[in-house]
A and B are shown apart, each in its own frame.
Chain A
Amino acid sequence: MADDNNKVKKIAHILKEIQITLLHFVIFEALINTVLLFLVCYLVLILLGITGIYAGIPALAYLGFAIARKLSSSDVKQVEEKHEILRERLRTIRDNQDQDNFMVQKLVEEVEGKLKVVPISSFFNTKKAVSTILITAVLCFLIITATIFQVKVVDASKAVSYLKNKIIKTTAEKEGSAFGTDATYGDQSKLLALGNNAETITLTGEAGEHDQKLDDRNIATEYPNLGSATQNNEQALNKDEQELIKKYFNEVSKRR
């Protein structure tokens, strides 16, 4: 009786080992294919003049999908498909592990014997692995060549840049960006350009002179028109600029 229990436990252990071994092969195969896909996408992107790092997106997506798909399929069935001598037996053992009767014991003994002649290497597709490695080597060579000689089929970088800006603009319009919109500030690209470069701003005119402290100066004599400065300043600005400023303050007040 103890021997029989040990046999059933042994089969449970063997099934688990099969599962782990198959998992290793699944991950290995998925990784090789992911690398291959990454290299293909990388090559295509650099030929299009686009940064190759974006090739990581489809590669990672494929990796997740491939592993999930392989894991969802029955591991025991995969073993049975490769080895006719184990056909239907492994599944029967797996589904009847908790039963301890004469017939199950005999089946366990039979499967135990048959599993001994099943080599682990039978799950590894050597031909496919070698061909994948060769293709990978060729792709690496092509990528290096294309990078050195800066080979480009089409320069799609401008199109990608335009697309990126369009997406940002659309997102900003939908969410109401802190930087406002074209209606508030005029052309956004100038604002962004301002942020990227160091600019020296020189303030000139009445608003810029702060050589003396204000309390030491006679504001009324030096700035006789200060009371109506806003009005004067407004009149000094053209209509478009006035509209722009009004819209800006409207936007700010809305946010408050």
Chain B
Amino acid sequence: MADELKGNYEKVSKTFDALFHEMEKAVIGQREIVEQIVIAILADANVLVEGYPGLGKTMTIKTLARTMDLKFSRIQHTPDVMPSDITGTEIIEEVNGKRFFKFQQGPVFANIVLADEINRATPKTQSSLLEAMQEKQVTVGNKTYKLDPPFFILATQNPIEQEGTYPLPEAQQDRFLFKILMGYPTFEEEVKIAEQYTKKMEQPDIKAVMNKQTVLALQTLARQVPISNDLLERAVKIVEKTRTTPDKIEYGASPRASIGIITAAKARALLMGRNHVSEKDIEYVALPILRHRIILTFEAERKGVTRDDVIKEIVQKVK
């Protein structure tokens, strides 16, 4: 399939059409969320989703793993979760009377990992996951274990019930490409959800439309999507503007945001079936990339200005 994709570009957009079709069998609505998660996978990056319980976060990522035929694991974070519960640990095994240490892989050794309620884990546990995100490897004792590519983490946060939590500091949130805000479905969507999930006990039959090699090939293709110098400069200007708006933004985004915008724009262009980056791609990805990388001034917050408002204003002004 990977070789077929390279030889036949049109097959790429058909593959994504098939993926969204399969996703819609299990995930009703939330098309934009699914698109953003797929963009992040194509960009070989990770996503932080903030949403209330019961919106289908687990269902979405589980279904996605099935359509991509990738190994999926889930980590439910609580304050007592230890780093070894995530990375794995060495256990004693006895064979023929001889005992030796054997490394038991933790749930992080998967292709798609759902880190549920990451803000409930202790900073030490959060940092072990962050090493996996950034370095695509895990260190246990004095040994380093490489994670099997592609590797993608979808971390979730609950915006309510913040008591007893350890919010991710901005420096660590910066490592997530997107911060996606998951909202409630529309009335019609909720009717469909209620109808579908009260009819049958069985889960919808989801077919795999691609495999691991295809995903890796698509990630390589996404990097190859060409971008004009004008758009490249516009992306950097947008990020720079977040650092030069002192009346509304106290701390702006870093160059990591510039890299993120361009990589994500390329991935989106590929997802949309285009072989070049458009200014709409830049405008689309700027919001989820920047919303967790800026800190507003007290004055702006007092006036009720949100991060999204400021980012939209910057994207409109910078041409």
Contact = CB atoms under 8 A, between A and B. Distances in A.
Given A102-B6, A106-B9, A92 B224 contact: no
B226 A96 contact: yes
Interface residues on A, range: 10 to 19
Contacts of A93: 226
Contacts of B279: 88
Contact of A102 (B224, B227, B228, B276): B224
Given A102-B6, A103-B221, A106-B9, A94 B275 contact: no
A81 to B, nearest CB: 13
A102 B276 CA distance: 12
Interface in A75-112: 88-89, 91-96, 99, 101-104, 106-107, 110
Contacts of A95: 226-229
16 contacts: A88-B231, A88-B278, A88-B279, A91-B228, A91-B229, A92-B228, A92-B276, A92-B277, A95-B229, A99-B224, A101-B224, A103-B9, A103-B221, A103-B226, A106-B9, A110-B275
B230 A91 contact: yes
Nearest to B227: A92
B226 A92 contact: yes
Contact of A99 (B9, B226, B277): B226
B225 interface: yes
Interface string A37-52: 0000000000000000
Interface residues on B, range: 10 to 19
Interface of B: 6, 9, 221, 224-231, 275-279
Contacts of B276: 88-89, 92, 103, 107
Given A102-B6, A102-B221, A107 B275 contact: yes
A107 B228 CA distance: 12
Contacts of A104: 224, 226
Classify the secondary structure of A's interface with B.
Answer: helix
A96 B276 CA distance: 10
Contacts of A103: 9, 221, 224-226, 275-276
Nearest to B9: A106
B285 to A, nearest CB: 16
Contacts of A91: 228-230
Nearest to A91: B228
Contacts of B221: 102-103
Contacts of B275: 103, 106-107, 110
Contacts of B228: 88, 91-92, 94-96
A95 B231 CA distance: 11
Contacts of A99: 224, 226
B233 to A, nearest CB: 11
A94 B277 CA distance: 13
Interface string A53-88: 000000000000000000000000000000000001
Contacts of B226: 92-93, 95-96, 99, 103-104, 107
A117 to B, nearest CB: 18
Given A95-B227, A107-B276, 5 more contacts: A88-B277, A88-B279, A96-B226, A101-B224, A110-B275
A110 B225 CA distance: 14
Contacts of B277: 88, 92
Contacts of B227: 92, 95-96
A103 B12 CA distance: 11
Nearest to B231: A88
- A-B CB proximity, top 3 nearest: A96-B226, A91-B228, A92-B276
Contacts of B6: 102
B121 to A, nearest CB: 39
A104 B221 CA distance: 10
Interface string A130-148: 0000000000000000000
